[in-house]
Amino acid sequence: MSVFDHIEFDEHEHVAFCHDKETGLKAIIAVHNSHLGPALGGCRMWPYASSEEALNDVLRLSKGMTYKAAMANLSQGGGKAVIIGDPRVHKTPEMMRAMGRFVESLSGKYISAEDSGMSVSDLKLMAEESTYISGTKASYHFAGEEADGNPAPSTAYGVFVGVKASVEYKFGTSLKGKKVAIQGLGHVGYRLAEHLHREGAELYVADIYPESLNRAKEQLNATIVSPQEILMLDVDVVAPCAMGATINRQSVETLKAKVIAGAANNQLATEDLGEVLRSKGVLYAPDYVINAGGIIDIYHQKMLSSNEALKTHLEKIGHTLREIYSRADEQKLATNVVANSLAEEKFRK
Ligand code: NAD
């Protein structure tokens, strides 16, 4: 199949392929849309079974970045890069530098950040060869943490702002006393739990590893539940913060929470579930809107802005969600459908 006929092609502006014989680098960069600015998106390294699978992933992800950047009010477009290979086996410093040269060859059309299989130290190697790399800036984060360029603290703060706005919209109350179930206490989930605890929410948490669960129990007074139960608890909010597609036909049947608001990417197994949630009276915070804190952080690192500017921008996630929710109610449409059309209004105008 040619790239132009690919099911995920969807008017991509630029797709570039690179094979660097010396380092073994095989990579693809996709720029979906740069109407609002240069395409910003992470670089992923993954042991794809075929180049077709890698192409599929990069096209799908770069399109998603266009929607995410537009709804985060960034003057950026959407793009993504993938490297074919197992990061634990095939990655070398020379390969990372070769990837930097590949990014540089696009002359700023695409700006690269971190994604699965890549770390801040890999980005620093890429940055030796390219000025179009973001997410390497060590700073003292506004949340009081030392940050090495990884945007998880901002993602967590943005999700917290989003949960707060969703609860206010749905119940007309603050978070005090609200029951929130968090699926996944990783880089984002644990920090989200800390923010929610400070606001007086009652926490229920699940993970597949015990360490962070025990810490949450001791420090945040959280109740530990099993991964099988977490989505079906009788709580006010469910926050998926582990993997994608956890909101599926089966979990929707047993869901009791009236708000779904979390960090995970691609939470809905299929897009039509947005409508199923709406008909059940469940308020769903579209994932790429509520979890945009990471890309907002990367953008501000690139602009060398202040912590205050970053924080103010992250807080706008609440405003954007409120806009989506009121439009969805007015038009009797699912929130994911409304988010897509609002994003398209922005990047297609
Ligand atoms: P992470 O890998 O640090 O955390 C994920 C956690 O989920 C881990 O603790 C893992 O043990 C747990 N987990 C895995 N399977 C589980 C299961 N079945 N039940 C319960 N817990 C399970 O990842 P992260 O950086 O915290 O990101 C979380 C999600 O948010 C991911 O979907 C990621 O794509 C998305 N996201 C992250 C960022 C970011 O800045 N890190 C930005 C946007 C979106």
Residues 210 and 337 in one domain: yes
Residues 214 and 322 in one domain: yes
Q: Considering the domain boundaries, does residue 136 fall inside one?
A: no
Mean pLDDT of the region 266-287: 96
Residue 162, domain extent? 152-347
Is ligand 1 within 6 A of the CB of residue 229? no
Please give the number of the atom of ligand 1 that sits closest to the Cα of 155. Answer: 40
Distance CA 348, CA 341 (A): 10
N-term to C-term CA, the chain:
31
Gyration radius of the chain over CA positions? 20
Mean pLDDT of the region 131-148: 79
Residues 247 and 322 in one domain: yes
**Domain end: 90, 110, 127, which one?**
127
* CATH code assigned at 44: 3.40.50.10860
Is ligand 1 within 6 A of the CB of residue 186? yes
Active site residue 311: no
Residues 178 and 107 in one domain: no
- Catalytic-role residue among 80, 109, 258, 302: 80
Q: What is the pLDDT of residue 199?
A: 98
- Between 142 and 74, the higher pLDDT residue: 74
Q: Considering the domain boundaries, does residue 137 fall inside one?
A: no
Strand, helix or coil for residue 107? coil
pLDDT confidence bin for 1, thresholds 50/70/90 = low
Ligand 1 atom 20, closest CA: 207
Q: What is the pLDDT of residue 140?
A: 59
Q: Considering the domain boundaries, does residue 228 fall inside one?
A: yes
Distance CA 295, CA 40 (A): 8
Residues 22 and 110 in one domain: yes
* CATH code assigned at 262: 3.40.50.720
Mutation test residue for ligand 1: of 243, 250, 267, 287, the one with most atoms within 8 Å of CB: 243
Q: What is the pLDDT of residues 292-323, one digit of tens each?
A: 999 999 899 888 888 899 999 999 999 999 99
pLDDT averaged over every residue in the chain: 94
Residues 213 and 272 in one domain: yes
Ligand 1 atom 32, closest CA: 264
Please give the number of the atom of ligand 1 that sits closest to the Cα of 263. Answer: 30
Residues 170 and 235 in one domain: yes
Residues 231 and 320 in one domain: yes
Q: What is the pLDDT of residue 11?
A: 84
Is ligand 1 within 6 A of the CB of residue 152? yes
pLDDT confidence bin for 6, thresholds 50/70/90 = confident
pLDDT confidence bin for 7, thresholds 50/70/90 = confident
Q: Considering the domain boundaries, does residue 5 fall inside one?
A: no
Q: Considering the domain boundaries, does residue 141 fall inside one?
A: no
- Give the number of domains in the chain: 2
Contact 52, 35 (CB under 8 A): no
Is ligand 1 within 6 A of the CB of residue 189? yes
pLDDT at 13 over 80: yes
Q: Considering the domain boundaries, does residue 210 fall inside one?
A: yes
Residue percentage of the chain with pLDDT more than 90: 86
Q: What is the pLDDT of residues 231-271, one digit of tens each?
A: 999 999 999 999 889 999 999 999 999 999 999 988 999 99
Q: How far away, in angstroms, is 244 Cα from ligand 1 center?
A: 9
Distance CA 246, CA 268 (A): 7
Residues 277 and 327 in one domain: yes
Give this prediction's pTM: 0.92
Residue the block writes with tokens 């060869």: 129
Residues 53 and 167 in one domain: no
Mean pLDDT of the region 43-56: 94
Residue the block writes with tokens 């930097």: 100
Residues 94 and 179 in one domain: no
Contact 104, 81 (CB under 8 A): no
Residues 107 and 243 in one domain: no
